[in-house]
Copies of this chain bind each other. A is one copy, B any other.
Amino acid sequence: MVQLGRYPVGRVTERDFRVAEVPVPDPGPGEVLVRNTYTSVDPGMRLRLRESGPAGYFAGFALNAPLDGIMTVGEVVASEADGFRPGDTVRHASGWREYAVVTAGVPALAGLGTLARIDTSVAAPSRYLGPLGGMGLTAYAGLLDAAELREGDVVWVSAAAGAVGSLAAQIARILGHRVIGSTGSDAKVRHLLDDLSLAAAFNHRRAPVASLLREAAPDGIDVYFDNVGGDHLEAALGALRRGGRIALCGAVSQYEAPGRPLGPANLFQATANDLTLRGFRGSSHLHRLPAMTHDLAGWLADGRLHYREAVFHGLHQAPTALVHMLAGTTTGKTIVRVAAGS
């Protein structure tokens, strides 16, 4: 399994992690032994590479211990729990390891990571780490609950080539909205336009975000789905029309920033223009899971939802995958294919 050897300061490096060989235990009563096949790599993990993460968020990771609370899919190898049998494909939250012993019925990741069978006739297992899992739920609930998406809204999604962003942007597009996506390279801008079929897209490294946004949405926007924070959030506050809404999903620009994170200097725009900023965790909207799974599985099947994975091979690559994702060099959902013996 991969463990955290030290808490990184500033940018995460592979050297902050180590690979530990541990014996595979037998499952006890109520437990299941799972051979993990794919494990997730998420931006929010950066906030947990600390002794204590943000209050109310998921707990910080312990050093030199299993990294608990990371979504994973795998196959049941042995079961001492009712309702699970060898061969079942399951989802749970004991990732970044090859074999996991998981107790059935114990909530993890606010319910999202509780051991559950997944339906591989609907989609391949790895999809349950992306559109049919927490990423899909975060995008779906962020638009419908946090941003209270309304007919006619012009929507801006940042980090729109990322795991959640690419889903949020496409869901809004499929629901009939004009969607502007931003990302960090010209190649990814082409991906947003050609593959995700967004109405407009820009590379935030090319010029000040506020001016790029003004060019893409000269009449302003109604909804901003924020994955980035910092200058992106300020640009949104300046561009939102009266009654506009911001879904505060993440702030990846600030996760590795040294010192004091950058709060929006123009927050008064919210008062001036009757704006709402709503923070949310996907896992706080579990009631949306069935409808979300139904909708996104359908859109995946009929081809309207484009889905890309950045797959790293071998569990030992998990730290590298995290480093690359935080640097913005991956496209789509970053996952690790766990190969036994890696």
Contact A272 B56 (CB under 8 A): yes
Contact B281 A267 (CB under 8 A): no
Contacts of A64 in B (CB 8 A): none
Contact A271 B55 (CB under 8 A): no
Scan residues 191-213 of chain A and give those whose CB is less than 8 A from a CB of chain B. Answer: none
How long is the Cα–Cα vector from A267 to B254 in the complex, in angstroms?
11
Does A25 sit at the interface, judged by CB under 8 A?
Answer: no
Does A278 sit at the interface, judged by CB under 8 A?
Answer: yes
Contact A272 B268 (CB under 8 A): no
The segment from A113-121, A245-253, A306-314 that touches chain B is A245-253
How many copies of this chain does the complex contain? 2
Does A186 sit at the interface, judged by CB under 8 A?
Answer: no
A269 to chain B, nearest CB (A): 6
Contact B261 A249 (CB under 8 A): no
Contact A267 B278 (CB under 8 A): no
A145 to chain B, nearest CB (A): 10
Contact B278 A251 (CB under 8 A): no
Contacts of A249 in B (CB 8 A): 271
Does A54 sit at the interface, judged by CB under 8 A?
Answer: yes
Does A265 sit at the interface, judged by CB under 8 A?
Answer: yes
Contacts of A274 in B (CB 8 A): 278-281, 284
Contact A267 B284 (CB under 8 A): no
Contact B278 A54 (CB under 8 A): no
The residue in chain B whose Cβ has the minimal distance to the Cβ of A47 is B268
Contacts of A233 in B (CB 8 A): 267
Scan residues 161-198 of chain A and give those whose CB is less than 8 A from a CB of chain B. Answer: none
Contacts of A270 in B (CB 8 A): 248, 277-279
The residue in chain B whose Cβ has the minimal distance to the Cβ of A267 is B263
A-B contact pairs, 6 of them (CB 8 A): A56-B242, A248-B267, A261-B265, A261-B268, A272-B279, A272-B281
A residues contacting B by CB (< 8 A) are 47, 53-57, 229, 233-234, 238, 242, 248-251, 254, 260-281, 284
Which 9 A-B residue pairings sit nearest by Cβ, starting from the closest?
A263-B263, A270-B279, A57-B272, A56-B273, A271-B279, A56-B272, A263-B264, A277-B277, A54-B272
